[in-house]
């Protein structure tokens, strides 16, 4: 049975086509649905294996990136009762997976789904204005950290990806929460130098995130949020320095490094 991926669109989200393409290239069957159709109950999560929250500027980021989207999911009543957040929790309890990229990551932390350490869903971290004080739109390097529970990241070491955000700096509520994030391997990807050395220094770390965190997962590994855009590196030709990279590694092939994240989850779901 094919892996079915639901991709949310509309209301300022603007990376849904790239997200759908990434799932398609990975062997999944993507379905792109407007957020309003999901909120209205016209589409149900139970028909899918993975929910995707793409990047963009949902609701214009008017109350902070991802905040209005998170509030819609948390509070807006659905025709049959409950909210979409209730359905998302049931989806996860049934073995579903969630990937949120950039704006989608921001919504996941503001919903309390990441890092997912509070049983009541109380928000414990946030993504706020970059320490540089400006929008960052460029390529960075990230390193996947060992002992994380995310099947999305298996076998990935250092990876080049683009960032496009003004509010990507992870802040953590208190030292106890940070210690638990570290102990459980939830800060699963960190900004690094091109050689793979972790760093909190600009410009290799584009936003000043705590723990140099570029991606965060929950303890189950089912929810992954990341600030860089893997769906924007599906072929080597997406990289601005692709000719030199191809000469340095002629055997690398034409697939972009970001595609591995999508392939990993499809492979994981196909063997469950």
Domains and CATH numbers, the chain: 4-130+167-180+215-270 (3.40.50.880)
What span, in angstroms and rounded, lies between the C-alpha atoms of 128 and 215? 14
Residue 237 — very low, low, confident or very high, per pLDDT cuts 50/70/90? very high
Distances (CA, A) of 158 to 86, 194, 249: 36, 8, 15
Q: Which of 18, 141, 231, 239 is catalytic?
A: 231
Confidence at residue 252, expressed as pLDDT on a 0 to 100 scale: 85
Confidence at residue 180, expressed as pLDDT on a 0 to 100 scale: 97
Please report which helix (H) or strand (E) contains residue 73, including its range: helix 67-75
Confidence at residue 24, expressed as pLDDT on a 0 to 100 scale: 98
Confidence at residue 251, expressed as pLDDT on a 0 to 100 scale: 87
What span, in angstroms and rounded, lies between the C-alpha atoms of 96 and 102? 20
Share of the chain above pLDDT 90, in %: 90
Compute how many other C-beta atoms are within 10 angstroms of the C-beta atom of residue 182.
13
Residue 54: CA count within 13 A, CB half-sphere: 28
Catalytic residue at 102? yes
- Beta strands (DSSP E) in the chain are 4-9, 29-34, 50-53, 97-101, 125-128, 136-144, 158-165, 169-172, 187-192, 213-217, 223-226
Confidence at residue 160, expressed as pLDDT on a 0 to 100 scale: 97
Compute how many other C-beta atoms are within 10 angstroms of the C-beta atom of residue 204.
17
Q: Which of 15, 16, 87, 102 is catalytic?
A: 102
Residue 79 — very low, low, confident or very high, per pLDDT cuts 50/70/90? confident
Tokens representing 63 are 């109350």
What span, in angstroms and rounded, lies between the C-alpha atoms of 73 and 95? 20
- Name the pairing type of β-strands 97-101 and 50-53: parallel
Q: Do 170 and 215 meet the contact criterion of CB atoms below 8 Å apart?
A: no
Q: Do 25 and 259 meet the contact criterion of CB atoms below 8 Å apart?
A: yes
Share of the chain above pLDDT 70, in %: 100
Q: Do 115 and 221 meet the contact criterion of CB atoms below 8 Å apart?
A: no
Residue 89 — very low, low, confident or very high, per pLDDT cuts 50/70/90? very high
Confidence at residue 10, expressed as pLDDT on a 0 to 100 scale: 96
Please report where in the chains the tokens 């540089």 appear, as a residue. Answer: 132
pLDDT at 159 over 80: yes
What backbone torsions phi and psi does residue 192 show, to the nearest 5 degrees? -145, 175
Confidence at residue 240, expressed as pLDDT on a 0 to 100 scale: 94
Q: Give, as one character, the DSSP assignment of residue 157.
A: -
3-state secondary structure of 167: coil
pLDDT at 272 over 80: no
Catalytic residue at 165? no
pLDDT tens-digit map of 47-76: 999 999 999 999 888 778 899 999 999 999
Catalytic residue at 147? no
Confidence at residue 17, expressed as pLDDT on a 0 to 100 scale: 98
CA-derived radius of gyration, the chain = 17
Mean pLDDT of 100-104: 98
Confidence at residue 147, expressed as pLDDT on a 0 to 100 scale: 93
Task: Work out the mean pLDDT of the chain and round it to a whole number.
Answer: 95
Mean pLDDT of 246-257: 91
Residue 111: CA count within 13 A, CB half-sphere: 29
Q: Would residue 208 be called left, alpha or beta, if left means φ above 0 and alpha means ψ between -120 and 50 degrees?
A: left
């Amino acid at each position: 049975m094919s892996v079915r991926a639901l991709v949310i669109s509309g209301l300022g989200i603007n990376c849904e086509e790239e997200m759908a393409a990434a799932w398609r290239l990975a062997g999944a069957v993507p379905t792109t649905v407007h957020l309003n159709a999901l909120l209205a109950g016209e589409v149900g999560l139970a028909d899918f294996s993975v929910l995707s929250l793409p990047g963009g500027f949902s609701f214009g980021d008017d109350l902070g990136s991802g905040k209005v989207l998170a509030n819609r999911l948390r509070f807006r009543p659905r025709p049959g009762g409950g909210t979409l957040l209730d359905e998302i929790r049931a989806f996860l309890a049934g073995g579903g997976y969630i990937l949120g990229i950039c704006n989608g990551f921001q919504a996941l932390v503001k919903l309390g789904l990441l890092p997912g350490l509070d049983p009541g869903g109380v928000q414990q971290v946030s993504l706020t204005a970059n320490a540089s004080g400006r929008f960052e739109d460029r390529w960075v390097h990230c390193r996947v950290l060992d002992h994380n529970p995310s099947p999305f990241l298996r076998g990935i070491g250092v990876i080049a990806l683009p960032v496009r955000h003004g509010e990507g700096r992870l802040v953590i509520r208190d030292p106890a929460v940070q210690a638990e994030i570290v102990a459980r391997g939830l800060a699963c990807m960190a900004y690094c130098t091109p050689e793979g050395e972790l760093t909190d220094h600009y410009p290799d770390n584009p936003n000043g995130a705590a723990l140099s965190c570029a991606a965060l997962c929950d303890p189950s590994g089912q929810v992954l949020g990341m600030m860089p855009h893997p769906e924007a590196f599906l072929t080597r030709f997406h990289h601005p320095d692709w000719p030199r990279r191809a000469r340095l590694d002629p055997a690398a092939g034409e697939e972009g490094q970001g595609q591995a994240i999508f392939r990993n989850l499809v492979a994981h779901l196909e063997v469950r």
